[in-house]
Structure 1
Amino acid sequence: MRKAAVFVAGAVAAVTALAVPSAGAATHQAGLHFGALQFDGPGADLPRTNAKLNAEYVDLHNNSRSAVRLTGYTVKTASGFLYTFRSFTLGAGKTVRLHNGQGTDTAAHVYRKKNNYWFNNSSGSVNLLTPRGAKKDSCSWRANGRGWTSCH
């Protein structure tokens, strides 16, 4: 009987450990949030080209069952660089990649249309602000040898 009680207690502990994610485990955020962020594109920053500018990007993901109208939402870095969405709706379960340089906006890619880098290669942060200025999400990074981070 004692062996059975010890076995059951051990089994319960094992199942509990499997069911509860560790404190360091990443979870996928619900609703509208940042995803991947490429803060330092591959290769040297100079000479500056549109391809290198567009290699800096941040993904915005709508992990909900409804489309979200992004018109008026702003993506703003700690150093003050920003992008404000014009007329744009992000479908349910969809991701839009916000590139830094020039390009033609589509449902999956939008462009800041600037000729300067906007993410600091060593560290920084970016915020997603609602049209009324409330912070919806944020992401920060430090140089990591890869040049990108996952924001969720």
Structure 2
Amino acid sequence: MNMRKKILATLAATLLAIGVSLAVTATPASAHEGGIHIGLVQFNSPGSDSGSNTSLNAEWINIHNARSTPYQIKGWYIKDNAGYKFLFPTYTIGAGKNVKVHTGKGSNGGGHVYWGRSWYVWNNTGDKARLYTPSGNFDDSCSWDDDDGSQKSCH
């Protein structure tokens, strides 16, 4: 047994001896059921990365409302590993519906909002999308690497 394991075993035995119990629980995959979460990320737009608005808009992240009522997502935000940040405008996601956040430019509405960037956000070889509430509380994340193809299903 290595030194770290010995220390942890001794600590656990000591805590149990004095009547302290440690509860370890895993967060189930369904933790976001009934809430707002990342559903799918298209991190590698089809074809070559030409930088055209069409190509940029083929890179997107899908945010899902698993609630039974519509939800106003204004002020929520998404960040990647490099710190690029998308702040949601006034937008209501219908109950059980999705909104796609496209990287490029376009008109918001009908299940689509646009970041307005002129270059890609999500790295094809690996990145992590993080979703935060307006108060800055972490809500959800989705990560991928170059073995995941061009799209990652997160829940």
Same fold (TM over 0.5): yes
Report the RMSD for the aligned CA atoms in angstroms: 1.5
Q: How far has the Cα of 1:141 moved from its partner?
A: 0.6
| Percent identity of paired positions between Structure 1 and Structure 2 | 37
The correspondence for 2:109, drawn from 106, 111, 114, is 106
**5+ unaligned residues in a row in structure 2: which ranges?**
1-28
**What is the distance in 2 between the residues matched to 1:102 and 1:143?**
26
**What is the distance in 1 between the residues matched to 2:136 and 2:30?**
26
**What is the distance in 2 between the residues matched to 1:144 and 1:50?**
26
Secondary structure in 2 aligned to 1:136?
A: strand
Corresponding residue of 1:63: 66
The correspondence for 2:52, drawn from 43, 49, 54, is 49
**What is the distance in 2 between the residues matched to 1:57 and 1:112?**
9
Residue pairs, 1:1-152, within 5 angstroms: 29-30=32-33, 31-45=35-49, 47-144=50-147, 146-152=149-155
Q: How far has the Cα of 1:27 moved from its partner?
A: 5.7
Q: TM-score, normalised by structure 1?
A: 0.78
Q: Give the aligned length.
A: 126
**What is the distance in 2 between the residues matched to 1:132 and 1:27?**
23
Corresponding residue of 1:19: none
Q: How far has the Cα of 1:144 moved from its partner?
A: 2.5
**What is the distance in 2 between the residues matched to 1:127 and 1:48?**
23
Secondary structure in 1 aligned to 2:56?
A: helix
**What is the distance in 2 between the residues matched to 1:29 and 1:134?**
14
Give the direction of change, closer, same or farther, for the CA distance of 1:122–1:130 in structure 2 (3 Å limit): same
What are the superposed Cα offsets for residues 86-124 of structure 1, whole Å, 9 maximum, x if unpaired? 111111111000000011111300000110100011001
**What is the distance in 2 between the residues matched to 1:136 and 1:120?**
21
Q: TM-score, normalised by structure 2?
A: 0.77
What are the superposed Cα offsets for residues 115-138 of structure 1, whole Å, 9 maximum, x if unpaired? 010001100101111000000111
**5+ unaligned residues in a row in structure 1: which ranges?**
1-25
